[in-house]
C-alpha cells in the first residue's frame, strides 16, 4: 500500500509553506528529503526482515545461507549510509543544519565511538589504539551529536584506508591564531594520500576525479561533510599524509577558556 | 518475562507494520495496527493501548499532528508514544520531544529487536516497579 501523494500532502506543512517553485533551493531540498525517505522504506524492510532471519526468528538457517545473508545485510547498510550522506550534503548546502553548541567533555564520547568501531578494525587485523592522557578531561565548545558524527566519519575513514598496522587516536591542546583549541589526532598506517589529492580531499565529490584503480568505493562526500560540519561549529579539520605511509587527520575544536 | 501490554503500531507501509508486529508478538505483546493518522486516533480511543509506535509520514493525518491531538486530550495526555520514522530532521525530533514523545527512533538505524528493547524500557519507565 503505497500512497505517497496523500502522505506528502499530510507532511506539507512540515516542509515549505512558501508557494511552490520548482527551481528554488528549498524545493530541491524538500525533494531530496522526500526522496531519501522513500528510499529508506525498502531499505528498512530489507534490514528488518534480514535481521530477524539472522537472529533466528524464522528458524535455523544453514551456515552458508547465513554468510550470504550477512553480505546482503552489509550491502544494505552501505545503501543506508549513502542515502544519509546524500541528504546530509543537501542539508549542509542549504544551511539547514542546526547546531546546538554547548560546553562538552568529549573524552567519554570519543571512547564510545572507538568502541563501536573496534569490531571493524579487528576484522581487518588493525590495532585501534587510544593514546589520550588520563588528564584528558578537556572541555570543548561543540554540538555533541555533530562532534560525534565528525569524529566517527574520520575514524571510519582511517580504518577503511588502512590495510595493516594501526590507527591511533590522541589529543592535545594548542594555540592557533591566538585561540586555544583541543586537537584530536587520528593517525593511521594506511595507504596515505598523494600530495596532489591531499589538496582536494575535503572537496565535494572529489572521488569522481579519481581513476578507477584509485577508487575504494564511496562517492567522496564523507570528508566534505566533515569539513562543512566542522566549519559550522568553528572547528577546523586538516590532514597530513605520505603516500604508502599513512595519514594523520586533525580535528581542532575550540577549547573552553 | 512475557509482557502482554497492548501496543498500537501506526504505520502506513504494510510490510513494515508486519515486521514490527511479528517481532513484538514473539515477545508476547498484544498488537493492533493502524494504517493512517485518523485510524490511529480511532483505535487509541477505542482500545487505549499501553504504548503507541507512531510513524510520521502517513495519509490523512501525520504523526506529529496525531501526537498533538493525543496531548490535547485528558485521556491520552500521558500515553506512551515512541516515534518510529525514517525522517531524522532536527525540527521534527524537537517537536516530538516537546510533545512528550518517549523516544524518537529512526527505523533505518534500528533492527526490530532494538526497537523492541526500547519499547520494553519505555514500558518499564512507568514510575512504579513490580517490587513496589
- Tell me, what's the ipTM? 0.87
Report, as an integer, the average pLDDT of B75-84: 96
The per-residue pLDDT of chain B, averaged, comes to 91
Q: How confident is the model at residue B128 (pLDDT cuts 50, 70, 90)?
A: very low
The pTM for the full model equals 0.80
> What's the pLDDT tens digit per position in A155-172?
999 999 999 999 999 998
User: What is d(CA A14, CA A55) in angstroms, rounded to the nearest whole number?
Assistant: 37
At residue A225, the pLDDT reads 95
At residue A218, the pLDDT reads 64
Q: How confident is the model at residue B126 (pLDDT cuts 50, 70, 90)?
A: low
Q: How confident is the model at residue B1 (pLDDT cuts 50, 70, 90)?
A: very low
Burial class (CB in 10 A: 0-12, 13-18, 19+), A219: middle
At what angle are helices A25-54 and B14-26 packed, to 10 degrees? 40
Å from B13 to nearest chain A CA?
Answer: 6
Instruction: Determine the 3-state secondary structure of A208 from DSSP.
Output: helix
- Is the Cβ pair A51, B91 closer than 8 Å? no
**Which residue among A7, A44, A51 sits closest to B12, beta carbon to beta carbon?**
A7
| Chain A residues near residue B56 by CB distance under 8 angstroms | 11
pLDDT higher at A17 or B8: B8
At residue A18, the pLDDT reads 53
Instruction: Determine the 3-state secondary structure of A249 from DSSP.
Output: strand
pLDDT higher at B21 or A95: B21
- Is the Cβ pair A49, B19 closer than 8 Å? yes
At residue A143, the pLDDT reads 93
Residues in chain A: 257
A98: nearest CA partner in chain B: B90
Sites in chain A below the pLDDT cut of 50: 1-4, 9, 16
A48: nearest CA partner in chain B: B111
Q: Are A159 and A117 in contact (CB under 8 A)?
A: yes
Q: Terminus-to-terminus CA distance in chain A, angstroms?
A: 56
**Chains A & B: contacts with CB separation below 8 Å:** 83
At residue A210, the pLDDT reads 56
At residue B120, the pLDDT reads 94
Residue A182: other Cβ atoms inside 10 A = 22
Q: What is the DSSP letter of B13?
A: -
At residue A216, the pLDDT reads 57
Q: Residue A87: which of B86, B94, B92 has the closest Cα? A: B86
Amino acid at each position: 500500500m503505497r500512497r505517497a501523494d496523500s502522505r506528502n500532502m499530510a507532511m506539507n506543512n512540515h516542509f515549505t509553506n512558501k508557494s511552490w517553485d520548482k527551481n528554488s533551493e528549498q524545493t530541491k531540498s524538500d525533494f531530496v528529503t522526500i526522496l531519501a525517505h522513500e528510499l529508506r522504506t525498502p531499505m528498512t524492510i530489507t534490514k528488518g526482515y534480514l535481521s530477524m532471519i539472522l537472529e533466528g526468528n524464522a528458524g535455523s538457517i544453514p551456515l552458508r545461507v547465513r554468510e550470504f545473508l550477512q553480505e546482503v545485510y552489509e550491502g544494505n547498510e552501505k545503501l543506508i549510509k549513502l542515502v544519509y550522506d546524500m541528504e546530509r550534503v543537501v542539508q549542509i548546502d542549504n544551511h539547514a543544519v542546526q547546531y546546538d553548541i554547548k560546553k562538552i567533555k568529549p573524552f567519554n564520547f570519543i571512547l564510545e565511538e572507538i568502541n563501536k568501531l573496534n569490531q571493524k578494525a579487528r576484522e581487518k587485523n588493525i590495532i585501534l589504539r587510544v593514546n589520550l592522557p588520563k588528564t584528558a578531561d578537556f572541555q570543548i565548545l561543540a554540538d555533541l551529536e555533530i562532534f560525534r558524527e565528525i569524529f566517527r566519519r574520520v575514524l571510519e575513514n582511517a580504518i577503511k584506508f588502512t590495510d595493516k598496522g594501526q590507527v591511533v587516536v590522541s589529543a592535545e591542546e594548542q594555540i592557533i591564531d591566538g585561540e586555544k583549541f583541543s586537537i584530536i589526532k587520528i593517525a593511521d598506517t594506511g595507504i596515505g594520500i598523494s600530495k596532489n589529492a591531499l589538496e582536494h580531499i575535503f572537496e565535494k565529490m572529489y572521488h569522481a576525479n579519481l581513476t578507477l584503480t584509485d577508487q575504494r568505493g564511496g562517492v567522496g562526500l564523507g570528508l566534505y561533510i566533515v569539513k562543512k560540519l566542522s566549519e559550522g561549529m568553528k572547528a577546523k579539520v586538516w590532514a597530513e599524509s605520505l603516500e604508502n605511509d599513512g595519514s594523520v587527520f586533525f580535528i581542532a575544536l575550540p577549547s573552553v577558556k | 518475562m512475557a509482557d502482554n501490554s497492548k501496543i498500537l503500531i501506526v504505520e502506513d507501509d504494510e510490510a513494515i507494520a508486519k515486521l514490527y508486529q511479528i517481532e513484538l508478538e514473539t515477545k508476547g505483546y498484544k498488537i493492533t495496527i493502524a494504517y493512517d493518522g485518523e485510524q490511529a486516533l480511532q483505535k487509541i480511543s477505542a482500545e487505549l493501548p499501553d504504548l503507541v509506535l507512531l510513524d510520521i509520514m502517513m495519509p490523512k493525518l501525520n504523526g506529529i499532528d496525531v501526537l498533538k491531538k493525543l496531548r490535547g486530550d485528558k485521556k491520552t495526555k500521558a500515553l506512551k508514544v515512541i516515534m518510529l520514522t525514517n525522517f531524522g530532521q532536527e525540527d521534527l525530533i524537537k517537536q516530538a520531544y516537546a510533545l512528550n514523545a518517549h523516544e524518537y527512533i529512526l527505523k533505518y538505524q534500528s533492527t526490530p529487536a532494538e526497537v523492541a528493547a526500547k519499547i520494553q524500557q519505555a514500558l518499564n519507565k512507568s514510575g512504579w516497579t513490580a517490587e513496589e
